Structure 1
Amino acid sequence: MFRKTGKLKKNKRSQNAPPFYDEPQNRLYILGGFWALCFLAILLKLLFVQVVEHGHYEAIAKSHLEQRRELPAQRGSISDRNGDLLAVDLIHYSLAVKPSLLSDRQKVAEALGKVLQVAPAKLVKRMKGNANFAYLEHRISHEKAEALRKLNLDGVILEKKFSRYYPYKTSGAQTIGYCDYDNAAKGGLELEYDKYLKGTSGWSVYLQDALGNQFPNLDFPTSYPVNGMNLETTIDMFYQSVLEDELEKAVRTHKANNGSAVLLDPRTGEVLGMANYPGFDPNRYNDFDLANYRNRAMTDLYEPGSTFKMVALALCIEELNLNMNKELVYCENGKYALAQKVVRDHEDFGYLSARGVFENSSNIGVIKLSKKFKPPIFYRYARDFGFGQQTGVDLPAEASGILGRPADYSRYSVAYMSIGYEVAVSPLQVASAYAAVANGGKLMKPYVVKRVIDDNGRVQLENQPQVIRQVVSAETAARMKEILKGVVENGTGQNAQVSGVAIAGKTGTAQKFDRSTHSYSTSQHVGSFAGFFPVESPKFVLLVMINNPRNGYYGSQVAAPAFSNIAQRIIGLPVTVKREQSPEMARLELPALDNFVMPLEGMKLKSAEKLLKERKLTYQVVGNGSLIYRQEPAPYSPLKATEPIRLYTETREVSSPGNNVMPKLVGLTLKEALQVMSQWNINVEIEGTGVVVEQRPSAGKNLSKENKIKLVCNPA
């Protein structure tokens, strides 16, 4: 039944294979060796990661786990000489979210919207723009920020920020300067003193979980920010507002391109006011033309015309020792040929005394007198008065002006320079030169910042009056003052007169050079007036310059009347009375819309009270500090006439006194009264500033924390 078979044949592959593969255990060795190599490779990689690249991967891990947060420093404030704030940092908060970490956007939006008083739909819409990070709201008050923190929502971030605020808006803007959205200085005092104002930012390290929640990392101590220092300037905002008001009137009345005005104290060199029109509002600088940012009073140059004749006048007295009343000059009946050109006077003068030449501003008379001047001597006097060089004022981008050297003069240069051509000056240079005449011959260095004060009240920098040089002798300066006084009383400057006040000064009218025709224009001019008052003891030096007026152009027409108006307004009454009652302060735009609560957080209490009084708003002060850290209602909230604005100031813990009797505060200054009341830790309502004239409750009444105290103050 079975077929007989032969011997089994061996597999051909088996016959050819090495004996090693035929054994099963050998195959296990091969497989084990393979896995051993894999394990060794993994081990080597782990060693490489853990040892060689440990630092690299540790940094990556920390970047996800640890978050370094900058703590911004508060920029120092800038105030005028009376303590009125010109620039201040306001504290506010920005609300942001990480949408990817929100469990329910709608519910989060509803919770946030309830605090912010914003429709949840708007917040949801703002969350859609960026999956990683999105801002929902800016300029959130301290009160609302605290309420948002209490919600303790995952993925919700509150950022504390500072923004620069300028309470006087356009007033003094080119001198003060401005900061951009990132609070970086961009001009004026903000830029010049930036190293003092900006402070030093701090930082803190937080641990962050997968949901974006942050927790303090105790291994890293917080580096707290150092706030910037404060500037106290020489500017008086009352004077500044008067300058700007009259300058604007002059520019508009005479249809000019622009104008500048400078007010100095000749005794010290302090800049009391520096105005330019048109200007700009640093709170919304992007809305204005870049040209309006320039402080033309120190950056823009012009040929001064007859105001420059004061250099020739100084030479006539100091170098030539002329008898100004007896020296006669023939003025060619108003027409004189010079260098193939005809020089004309505004009147057909015949013979004039040297004094009469300057009082009547005869170009021909001054040119004839200038023939006695040696070019190097004329150059030295012009240079000594500060022309052709920076005054050294503590503001950026000051122009040096143009004053050629004698080696470059033509045979007619001194003649033309003596009447204010072939030179270029800034308004500040002219004002500084006239200050040297007013103070007895000393050229003073102008300055805008009195002192720099740190957070602890220590003075870190103080500018003192600095005499640059003695330009002319006191006797020469006195004789020049008399002649410049005669210009106003008898000559071309009569429109600068102020009843009852002796004014000295000089008009200036110059044709502008037309680059298109390479000649002087007959239709474009610069009109100016420079002077000082009162002559017997000068306290003010003032220059008014009107550029390219089209409705009249003589300095006596366009600048002298503005000079008179300014002088009359700033010396008509004691400064303290004028500051409280003058309409000039009332015309300043207040820093908020009438229907909304103005932002006061970060301001000094004194300045905030002044602003509230100007708007006739009721307010309450909580705490005994001098700086407002919180307010109710929040900034930009709808204003309710029946609801007082509460100002929360920095407080300190002081134990209550042993007796609870209302002390006598009448007769104390407001600051002294608040220091006394700080012991009771009772809210005080303040009306007015200065000295306490009325108190409620009256002295001797029993006090408790429920008492409401009101102090009524008036200026001393």
Structure 2
Amino acid sequence: MKRRKAVDVRPKILFIRFVFIIILVGLVGRIFFLKVAKSAEYESKAKTQQVSRYDITISPNRGAILDRNNQALAVSTTVYNMVLDARNLSKAKESEQEKTLKIITEHFEELDYDTLKQYITINPQTQKPNLDTHWKYLVKGIERSEKEELEAQGLKGIVFEQSTKRSYPLKTLACHVLGFIRGDTQWGIESMYNSYMTGMPGRSFMTYDGGNMAVHKDYNAQDGNTIVTTLDYTIQQYAEDAVAEVAAQWPSENVAAMVMNPKTGEVYAMADSHQFDLNHPSEPLELQNEEFKKDWEKIDADSKMEYLNNTWKNFNISSTYEPGSIFKPLVVAAALEENVVSPSTSFYCSGVTKVYDRDIRCHLRSGHGAETLEDVIANSCNMGMIDIANKMGRKLFYQYQKEFGFGEKTGIDLPGEVSASNLMYSEERIGPVELATMSFGQSFNCTSIQILSAFSSLVNGGNLMKPYVVSQILDTEGNVIVENKPQIIRKVISQKTSDIMREQMQATVERGTGKKAKIEGYAIGGKTGTAEQGNRSSNSQWTLSYIAYFPVEDPQYIVLTVIHRPSDYVDGVQTPSPMTKKLIENIIQYKNLEPSYVVEEEKSKTTAGKVKIDDYTGESLYNVLGALDSKGIGYKVVGAGNTITNQAPHGGAEIEVGGQIILYVKKGEDEGGLAVPNVVGKKYEEAVTALNDMGFEVETQGDT
């Protein structure tokens, strides 16, 4: 028997074991890779699949904006967005689908039944609805009552997502300060403090297991912080009313007003005649006018946007103009500080002076004659200011112009402020003519907030303060997380100089160019301004201003009013004095401010008695009429112009209180026409009487 050869199977077994080990190691490695290296990715995908059916972002309430007394200026209210769950609705009964679509399309005209029906129709190829999603926005911004009404009707496949809506209960009030955010368009506090008011969104979602709901989780939104402004709603309303009245009376490129605390820089009011409704900023208020509406519909989108941008722009911080005579006290203060002049320095105004080849005139063509420093301010004398500027020299003049903040931003916490640095002469470019004209506020530009801040330093002890409109930011618990406090930018003049200026500028209101804003019993100081702008050939190239502070002994308020480029300007007619006076009177009454002094009985009466008439020959009609009003003397104007050439009775004569003086006038060189009294709103008889008293012959047309 033949013996078989033995076969060694061990190598095969070893090979099989080796292959098995390799496969096992590979499987273990793959499992490890998937478990460790890819776990986060797959876990994320799993979670995404779970929550894809319902995942709602809960919008936080944007922080409110309040005035200094907690009056709501901007608030956020809860609204809802209606969302279509196409996948869910496609699984509902046909009758439920039709009921739901019918209800929502009848309730919202913008929704189309056939379009929505197409969304939920099952595609035969994919066996899924044509709109294969759980989340399709249909309508946004639904009020709670409307949402509850719809929910009560048993809708299927409709979800209501909670959201917020910004609203401004006072509509146009402080619109340029509050501002708004619409996409890339951002203005005011809403823009400046956006990050504080935004808040953190929350989330509400449901996870599913095999199509059945397993877990419902909510993460609450964190509401935004509350902004407390320095604005005083009541003073803001007074300012806006005053601006609106003047804008209606004298059509102008702009009319504006501001009220600030000169010691702290807190802005109490900031008003602008180009108002808009913050709830609908892209809809001009002028659309209420049918003619404007027709023109608006004809212009292209770019023209509309240009118009809107001009409306939204904050005149008080973004527009510049030559300040004119309200700049004069700043020059006087600088000269006093450097001992270039003193309160006892004397001046002489002849009405005109020659600087190189140019005749520069005072507004009183015949001249003011001999003057004190106080007279120069009260009379707003150009000749006196030129003399002071020449004594200072251009280096010192330029130094203080910069020290008072001109050519730099004030730093107010609002977007859009301009510095106007490109509209000022550098020191080396200031020649004799430039120095002369700059001394009375011409030949350079500034913003209203710059002049208000600079002027505040004259009366607050010499400190240039940083103006601000937000005082505090509060969290949702009412805790103060940010607080803005008064900030001194720099010391410009001494307390001594400030005290002198504060007292001397009272003369402007008591007896000078600003006496139309005088309020008996209250010590008010200030300065008027009438500045030519750019092209001197047009009657609409003027800016009229009045800056006033009170009480003089301890200023708590400083007011700036501006009429920018009034149409058909006539000297002595358009003036911000009445609006300034009315605004101050309202603040005094609102704050119940005590009088600065007791009015003497004989001065307060306008009953029987005689008064001595001054010699008004050569003076400005505009200045004289205010003086006559204060004495209770009537007047009749004969001729055309603003320079008084004769009068009856003559100077020195006595006249009964309530009597009349005749003033003969003529046009001075480069002078406009006679100041025509405003008779808008008066009865026919009253209007004719007023015009006749001024020496006008009245001819009427149409119905009277």
Alignment TM class, shorter chain as reference: 0.5 to 0.7
The one-letter amino acid paired with 1:82 is N
TM superposition shift of 1:521: 4.8
* Residue in structure 1 matched with residue 162 of structure 2 by the alignment: 160
* Residue in structure 2 matched with residue 511 of structure 1 by the alignment: 532
TM superposition shift of 1:55: 8.1
Distance 1:297 1:421 in 2: 19
CA deviation vs aligned residue, 1:491-526 (integer Å, no higher than 9, x gap): 111222223322211111111113xxxx67554111
Structure 1: unaligned runs, 5 residues or longer: 1-43, 577-716
TM superposition shift of 1:388: 1.5
* Residue in structure 1 matched with residue 435 of structure 2 by the alignment: 414
CA shift in 2, pair 1:157/1:266, >3 Å: same
Report whether the alignment pairs 1:305 with 2:305.
no
Within 5 A, what are the aligned runs for 1:470-485? 470-485=491-506
* Residue in structure 2 matched with residue 695 of structure 1 by the alignment: none
Distance 2:218 2:509 in 1: 66
* Residue in structure 2 matched with residue 367 of structure 1 by the alignment: 386
The 3-state SS of whatever aligns with 1:284 is coil
Contact 1:549 1:558 in 2 (8 A): no
Contact 2:58 2:201 in 1 (8 A): yes
TM superposition shift of 1:83: 0.7
CA shift in 2, pair 1:54/1:443, >3 Å: closer
Contact 2:506 2:524 in 1 (8 A): yes
The 3-state SS of whatever aligns with 2:533 is strand
The 3-state SS of whatever aligns with 1:548 is strand
CA shift in 2, pair 1:336/1:167, >3 Å: same
TM superposition shift of 1:285: 1.1
* Residue in structure 2 matched with residue 190 of structure 1 by the alignment: 190
CA shift in 2, pair 1:57/1:249, >3 Å: same
The one-letter amino acid paired with 1:434 is F
The TM-score normalised by the length of structure 1 is 0.66
Report whether the alignment pairs 1:529 with 2:518.
no
The one-letter amino acid paired with 2:231 is I
Distance 1:458 1:196 in 2: 14
* Residue in structure 1 matched with residue 631 of structure 2 by the alignment: none
Within 5 A, what are the aligned runs for 1:45-444? 63-67=48-52, 68-99=55-86, 101-102=89-90, 103=92, 107-108=96-97, 110=99, 118=107, 124=113, 127=116, 132=131, 135-146=137-148, 148=150, 153-180=155-182, 186-207=186-207, 215=213, 217=215, 222-288=218-284, 289-320=308-339, 322-324=341-343, 326-332=344-350, 334-347=351-364, 348-353=366-371, 354-402=373-421, 403-444=424-465
Distance 2:357 2:207 in 1: 84
CA deviation vs aligned residue, 1:529-576 (integer Å, no higher than 9, x gap): 111112122111010111101243558842122111111112124469
The 3-state SS of whatever aligns with 1:195 is helix
CA deviation vs aligned residue, 1:363-421 (integer Å, no higher than 9, x gap): 22211221101222212222222222111111112111334332332333322221112
Distance 1:290 1:502 in 2: 40
CA shift in 2, pair 1:387/1:127, >3 Å: same
CA shift in 2, pair 1:138/1:203, >3 Å: closer
Report whether the alignment pairs 1:465 with 2:483.
no
Distance 2:533 2:348 in 1: 28
CA shift in 2, pair 1:70/1:343, >3 Å: same
Contact 2:442 2:532 in 1 (8 A): no
The one-letter amino acid paired with 2:485 is Q
Contact 2:332 2:388 in 1 (8 A): no
Distance 1:376 1:562 in 2: 38
Distance 2:568 2:539 in 1: 14
TM superposition shift of 1:331: 2.1
* Residue in structure 1 matched with residue 617 of structure 2 by the alignment: none
Within 5 A, what are the aligned runs for 1:28-39? none
CA deviation vs aligned residue, 1:602-635 (integer Å, no higher than 9, x gap): xxxxxxxxxxxxxxxxxxxxxxxxxxxxxxxxxx
CA deviation vs aligned residue, 1:335-381 (integer Å, no higher than 9, x gap): 33334333222212152313222211122221122110122221222
Contact 1:509 1:554 in 2 (8 A): no
The 3-state SS of whatever aligns with 2:509 is helix
Contact 2:413 2:468 in 1 (8 A): yes
The one-letter amino acid paired with 1:165 is S
CA shift in 2, pair 1:438/1:510, >3 Å: same
CA shift in 2, pair 1:268/1:437, >3 Å: same
Distance 2:453 2:570 in 1: 24
The 3-state SS of whatever aligns with 2:566 is coil
Contact 2:324 2:441 in 1 (8 A): yes
CA deviation vs aligned residue, 1:16-36 (integer Å, no higher than 9, x gap): xxxxxxxxxxxxxxxxxxxxx
Contact 2:254 2:565 in 1 (8 A): yes
Distance 1:366 1:205 in 2: 74
The one-letter amino acid paired with 2:233 is M
* Residue in structure 1 matched with residue 630 of structure 2 by the alignment: none
* Residue in structure 2 matched with residue 452 of structure 1 by the alignment: 473
Contact 1:511 1:522 in 2 (8 A): no
The one-letter amino acid paired with 1:436 is S
Q: Name the % identity.
A: 31
Contact 2:412 2:469 in 1 (8 A): yes
* Residue in structure 1 matched with residue 564 of structure 2 by the alignment: 547
Report whether the alignment pairs 1:501 with 2:501.
no
The one-letter amino acid paired with 1:249 is E
TM superposition shift of 1:304: 0.4
TM superposition shift of 1:306: 0.6
Contact 1:266 1:538 in 2 (8 A): yes
Contact 1:169 1:281 in 2 (8 A): yes
Distance 2:570 2:117 in 1: 61
Contact 2:462 2:493 in 1 (8 A): yes
The one-letter amino acid paired with 1:257 is E
Distance 1:244 1:55 in 2: 60
The one-letter amino acid paired with 1:259 is V
Contact 1:254 1:558 in 2 (8 A): no
Distance 1:438 1:555 in 2: 28
Distance 2:249 2:117 in 1: 54
Distance 2:380 2:537 in 1: 20
Contact 1:105 1:124 in 2 (8 A): no
The one-letter amino acid paired with 1:405 is S
Contact 2:318 2:417 in 1 (8 A): yes
CA deviation vs aligned residue, 1:189-208 (integer Å, no higher than 9, x gap): 11111111111223344336
Contact 2:105 2:113 in 1 (8 A): no
TM superposition shift of 1:134: 5.3
The 3-state SS of whatever aligns with 1:343 is strand
TM superposition shift of 1:87: 0.6
The 3-state SS of whatever aligns with 1:423 is coil
Distance 2:487 2:114 in 1: 61
The one-letter amino acid paired with 2:390 is K
Distance 2:562 2:355 in 1: 28
The one-letter amino acid paired with 2:51 is E
Distance 2:283 2:152 in 1: 38
Within 5 A, what are the aligned runs for 1:567-582? 567-574=584-591
Aligned length: 520
* Residue in structure 1 matched with residue 669 of structure 2 by the alignment: none
CA shift in 2, pair 1:117/1:124, >3 Å: closer
* Residue in structure 2 matched with residue 15 of structure 1 by the alignment: none
